[in-house]
Chains A and B, each alone.
Chain A
Amino acid sequence: MNLHEYQGKALFAEYNIPVSKGKVVFNAEDIIDVCNEIGGSKWVVKAQVHAGGRGKSGGVELITNPEDGVKFAKKWLGKNLVTYQTDKKGQPVNCILVEECINIAKELYLSAIIDRESQRIVFIGSIEGGVNIEDVAKNMPEKIIYQGFVYKDDSLKENAENIAKVLKLNDQQTIQFISIIDNLLRLFVEKDLSLLEINPLVITENKDLHCLDAKINIDSNALYRQPELLDMRDESQEDPKEAEAAKSDLSYVSLDGNIGCMVNGAGLAMGTMDTIKFFGGNPANFLDVGGTATQERVAKAFKIILDDPDVKVVLVNIFGGIVRCDLIAEGIIAAIKEVEVKIPVVVRLEGNNADIGSKILSKAKIKIESINDLAEAAKKAILLAE
């Protein structure tokens, strides 16, 4: 689950990590009061969406008059912001963050992830901030440092200093930096983050370190113990079909082909998509219906798949393990009737009682193509989709 910048910065503030004075608004008119409350004569207004690249797309503006902030908000609130990180539709803007303006001397980069290889929380620092870090990694790898950390061990200071050196911080800034890393690491662990990115981390004209952005992802497996973060969820930023599927405990990712896929198991679901592609077709989605594949779940999965108008045929691929294929076949037939599926359905059953399952499918009064060989089933689906 992702957080908005304003929510991330509220967490930063809670952990004594330096961020700008600011406030989020949901109504354009409120900007005048907020500017007055913040004080000063220059402010930054930032459209809040779950995507980077906002600045280049007009989603961030520097204003010297609160009225301009109102104009900015009226332009964006209720609209979609398209950046290089979003799809063609963009992400809806529901609120605007208003902040004091910070004068920048230098932009740096700092992020943290859980690194699979070293099995540590790794901080990534670069002296090149405010740009796409993947480009830096590719073109100037010497300007990036990866430093592993173990929570609560005694090498924090030394490890933080390793990064500070690459960022060319002075003594005063290095002291600030150690404290920032200490607090970020605590935040990372206590709030179950999976990613944290500050791009840019800046050195201000007063030579202090300051976080100008905050991107935070939370481990969805840990949300049960982070109720206050779960409350921050903004469903408007999520793909509505993926969110709907998640509510039924189905994993769904939409793709741009025309062959709907319903598979048990994530690996097999990917393998099925690949098989369709291998034989020249185009999968419309990834969908893992789960190990049990009951009528209820299959029906729900059909509804989600058929909601995509491009889908011309559905390929169901189930490897019956613990649940026998004859039971799964009955569930599929009942679900097709329940959802009133009108397009062709190809079913491949394999595993426990697959033969009995296929017989049940072929005898059904509705039209189902029952093919036990996956390659043949995929070819049939491709033919029917043409």
Chain B
Amino acid sequence: MTETSITFPPPPADTLSDLRAEVRDFLATALANRKPRDRARTWTGFDADFSAQMGERGWIGMTWPKRYGGHERSALERYVVLEEMLAAGAPVAAHWIADRQSGPLLLKAGTEEQRQAILPRIAAGQCFFCIGMSEPDSGSDLAAARTRATPVEGGFRVNGTKLWTTYGHKSHYMILFCRTGAADDRHGGTSQLLVDLSTPGITIRPIADLSGEHHFNEVVFEDVFLPSSAVIGALGDGWNQVMGELAFERSGPERFLSSFILLVEAVRALGQSPSVAAQAAVGRLTGQIVTLRRLSRSVAGLLQRGENPALQAALVKDQGALLEQEIPEVVRTILAVEPSLRSPVDLSNVLAHIVLAAPCFSLRGGTREILRGIIARGLGLR
């Protein structure tokens, strides 16, 4: 028989109620005046002061070694902090990328100099990163990237354009995925470089999203000189580094909680005597969140044990995006509300934000089609 079973072992027991309570206490105060419309932004809400407060609490770089400013806590403790932040709609965008992927990459593949210079600042909530992967002609097909770092005396000269660079305009550094080898070596000819965004020759231009907000940027490199010390890991390791990080990027609570604040506001608007149909609709979405959270925590347990659950992570992200995109559609069927970004009514405002953000949920971090291709490969179909 074809072996197609996909195992999600029971997640580690939740023995972290003290930590959870500590985070909830902190958020109750820190976010006391944060309106639902702002909470709805969750991990796209940028607030450098809030990130610094989290750094002071020891909630960034939680799993990293203490010698790099980390706190040597478990991946599951980190998971608790993350999900509490997201469920409360805390503005975590400033440090999010650095905490989730840039820091771990430097920890794994960076030079000692890079680690010492940067990791403690990330953990303090004072150093922000953006991702330099997508390009005008390279989206899902990452290996088609054309930005090139050409060797020169003492380093590289970089030319090219990166696109959809979230918070590039507010970040200190970018991890740049670029070509350093032969043009026909799609995977082996790529590397990742650490880029200080204040380097001359870098131009950052805003791109407004559907709601008119500025998160995205186009980042243009024109004869930008980077020192040899900017290389992360070995030259030619870019593709493997990126692939190795995907399970971390795809299975976290941010992959099913993007619309959670809308569900909270819908429950508030329904009040104490909703119709049975509305109650069933809300109950269904709640059950879906509980189920996905279990799968996501199961993946966190696998990651903690050093496994690489890329298939399970793709399943969580695919199911999570479906749920995140369905929540606004369900809310529309159970509550009469017109969405408006200018409305003084919280529900209207939050619904507007989520409707306009929802298309992105199945694009960022791997499109739905790419994820399903990964799942099909995991099933042995390709």
Q: Do A and B come from one complex?
A: no
A residues contacting B by CB (< 8 A) are none
